[in-house]
Amino acid sequence: MNTSLHDRHIEPQILAGLNGDNWHLADYVKRGGYDALKKILNDKITPEFIIAELKVSALRGRGGAGFPTGLKWSFMPRLFPGQKYLVCNSDEGEPGTFKDRDILRYNPHALIEGMIIGGYAMGISVGYNYIHGEIWAEYERFEEALEEARAAGFVGQNILGSGFSFELHAFHGYGAYICGEETALLESLEGKKGLPRFKPPFPASYGLYGKPTTINNSETFSAVPWIIRNGGEAFLKVGKPNNGGTKIFSISGDVTYPGNYEIPLGTPFAKLLEIAGGMRDGKKLKAVIPGGSSAPVIPAEAMMATNMDYDAIAKAGSMLGSGAVIVMDETRCMVKSLLRLSYFYFEESCGQCTPCREGTGWMYRVVHRIEHGQGRMEDLDLLNSVADNIQGRTICALGDAAAMPVRAFIKHFHDEFVYHVEHKHCLVPTYV
Ligand SMILES: Cc1cc2nc3c(=O)[nH]c(=O)nc-3n(C[C@H](O)[C@H](O)[C@H](O)COP(=O)(O)O)c2cc1C
Ligand code: SF4
């Protein structure tokens, strides 16, 4: 873990006081771990009460869309008599995002406890944690923690003699970005190719093996025990209205101390930058991608005036997404940055829908020719037109994720793209 996390975090709820050695069950219990679950089972707290607390807390899904978790849990038909499933999304393939693997590594029991509480609140007896296929150590760590929880009677049949049973399994995924999209994840979990499904039907009615399923991100589940221990109101107060709690930001790029920082939602971006040690080598900030590669880029001035929460970032024209903050300094070429992003989406498109399959390839090729001195002025309109023809016309949101950065880069750094076309080389002289 980035050591700077420990001395720099502010009011952390998930990554608090962790040093890499204290992930075990005994350490977690010392920190108040499994108290929330014990309280629920001993005091026979009702599922309705848990969901109401989540609604009060304004916990929003940490996987990207920021959907209110309490509301999502209320969609699960709890009294449906057949099999239902709970799924944790630890796929984490979005470029710039590296927070969920730290949860698996340093605080796996918070995630496990959050899932068991989810199972109880939604009347679900089986859960899976889908872990990105390229991370082995974290998968093994989670398996070890699960074993500890099972041996202590927190997972399995008749948990702590309460009559409530919840089986939880780890599933090592396939390492494809698209497998993080919830319906592709379900296909993959069923042993099939990770191809997104049409929605509706949504997973709450037709999920894993066609059964009602709730899917949440690892960080979302990990926040739940704190909420139950301290109350929804306390969580809400840590953040700001409609944006409860802390959020883990994975900050990377041109900062002095890249790493994960857990800070209250609503913290000014300028403060987060300061916590990460400021700009590396004293360079000037040029732009920030505030929520993972899918989030539209924001120029420096606007970013410095923005707070880090879902609503403020949306107001600034982007998305908080997964909380992956990619910082770019004055030496970064925006055409080259867009080229890298376009290539990623072109590579990762699953190919099911024509606008995404063909459009991502076209966007990559057009940005490639601009970057390599063969661009035409019409290419800027062409790129916007291809983006228009992808966005909102595909089965899943990967199409939108590919189109939105293209529009934002051209909008905010138009002069730099024009310079590339006219001069056939980069405007940024010190670019390396
Ligand atoms: C292309 C694509 C990739 C995604 N990857 C992830 C991911 O790696 N992890 C994640 O939690 N959500 C990812 N999502 C969002 C999920 O589909 C889903 O909304 C999320 O897991 C729900 O959890 P939450 O409500 O707790 O945020 C992705 C979405 C898309 C369109
Ligand atoms: S939008 Fe792209 S990734 Fe999503 S289903 Fe269509 S082709 Fe596949």
Per residue, what are the HEC states of 334-375?
HHHHHHHHHHHHHHHCCCCCHHHHHHHHHHHHHHHHHHCCCC
pLDDT at 13: 74
Rounded to the nearest angstrom, the distance between the alpha carbon of 354 and the centre of ligand 2 is 8
Of the ligands numbered here, which is closest to the C-alpha atom of 356? 2
Measured from the Cα of 348, ligand 1's closest atom is: 1
Rounded to the nearest angstrom, the distance between the alpha carbon of 168 and the centre of ligand 2 is 30
Rounded to the nearest angstrom, the distance between the alpha carbon of 89 and the centre of ligand 1 is 7
Specify the residue with its C-alpha closest to ligand 2, atom 8: 350
Rounded to the nearest angstrom, the distance between the alpha carbon of 352 and the centre of ligand 2 is 5
pLDDT at 61: 98
Measured from the Cα of 72, ligand 1's closest atom is: 25
- Amino acid at position 116, single letter: I
pLDDT along the chain (432 residues), means of 10: 40 74 94 96 96 98 96 94 96 95 96 98 98 96 98 97 97 95 98 96 97 98 97 95 96 97 96 97 97 96 97 97 97 96 97 97 98 96 97 96 96 96 82 47
Alpha-carbon span 133 to 144, nearest angstrom: 17
pTM confidence score: 0.95
Query: Which among 206, 208, 217 is positioned nearest to 69, based on CA atoms?
Result: 217
pLDDT at 6: 38
Of the ligands numbered here, which is closest to the C-alpha atom of 179? 1
Specify the residue with its C-alpha closest to ligand 1, atom 12: 63
Of the ligands numbered here, which is closest to the C-alpha atom of 396? 2
Ligand 1 binding pocket, CB closer than 6 Å: 61-65, 67, 72, 89, 91-94, 177-178, 180-182, 215-217, 220, 396-398, 401
